[in-house]
């Protein structure tokens, strides 16, 4: 009986530690002090899915901030697909608050991992727009391609939670 109680306590303690680790928002971003220029934030990759095209979009965001919003945010992203993608015309992030878009997207590289191609791109958005879009995590991201097609990327339940955690940890400060 005593052994069973000890086992319950150990398992309960492990469960608490795992739960605390899973809820740590700093797993979702990193900050770097850059002297007089303030802090540089790096939001780690966040995944969105287009189940129809069987394509994943993973975005990461880097920006600098000190006292006021006056810069842009660099948004890098992978399109993960069974096909090579080297060009995308525009990327729109839409939620009930509004819509932000960019058309100046640069292709960086493509690499093959197992049966999938990872196409890497970079672009910039206004930091003010990024702050606004994070106020509501119900995102739809639409990529428009040169061949007049589009892909709609939806957040998973985990992605929705992660977006909310990032907003509560970073963007409420601005």
Domain ranges of the chain: 25-173
Q: What is the mean pLDDT of residues 59-64?
A: 95
Question: pLDDT at residue 3 above 90?
Answer: no
pLDDT tens digit sequence for 114-169: 999 999 999 999 999 999 999 999 999 999 998 788 999 999 999 999 999 999 99
Torsion angle (degrees, nearest 10) of CA 125, 131, 133, 137: 130
Listed in sequence order, the residues at least 6 apart from 66 whose beta carbon sits closer than 8 Å to its beta carbon are 36, 37, 38, 39
Q: Are 97 and 133 in contact (CB under 8 A)?
A: yes
Listed in sequence order, the residues at least 6 apart from 170 whose beta carbon sits closer than 8 Å to its beta carbon are 29, 41, 43, 134
* Tokens 């999938």, located at residue: 116
At residue 12 the predicted structure's pLDDT band, cuts being 50, 70 and 90, is very low
**Tokens in use for 100?**
């932000």
Question: pLDDT at residue 101 above 80?
Answer: yes
Helices (H), the chain: 2-22, 127-133, 157-169
What is residue 103's predicted lDDT score, i.e. its pLDDT? 86
Residues 25-173, CATH architecture = Sandwich (2.60)
pLDDT tens digit sequence for 28-45: 999 999 888 888 999 999
């Amino acid at each position: 009986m005593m052994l069973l109680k000890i086992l319950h306590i150990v398992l309960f303690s492990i469960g608490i530690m795992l739960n605390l680790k899973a809820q740590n928002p700093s797993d979702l971003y990193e900050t770097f002090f850059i002297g007089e220029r303030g802090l540089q934030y790096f939001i780690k990759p966040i995944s969105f899915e287009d189940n129809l095209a069987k394509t994943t979009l993973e975005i990461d965001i880097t920006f600098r901030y000190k006292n006021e919003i006056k810069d842009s945010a660099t948004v890098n992203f992978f399109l993960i697909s069974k096909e090579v993608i080297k060009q995308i015309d525009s990327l729109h992030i839409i939620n009930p608050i509004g819509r932000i878009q960019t058309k100046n997207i640069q292709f960086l590289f493509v690499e093959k991992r197992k049966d999938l191609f990872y196409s890497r791109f970079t672009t910039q958005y206004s930091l003010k727009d990024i702050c606004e879009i994070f106020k509501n995590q119900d995102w739809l991201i639409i990529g428009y391609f040169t061949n007049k097609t589009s892909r709609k990327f939806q957040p998973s339940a985990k992605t929705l939670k992660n977006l909310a955690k990032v907003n509560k940890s970073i963007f409420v400060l601005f």
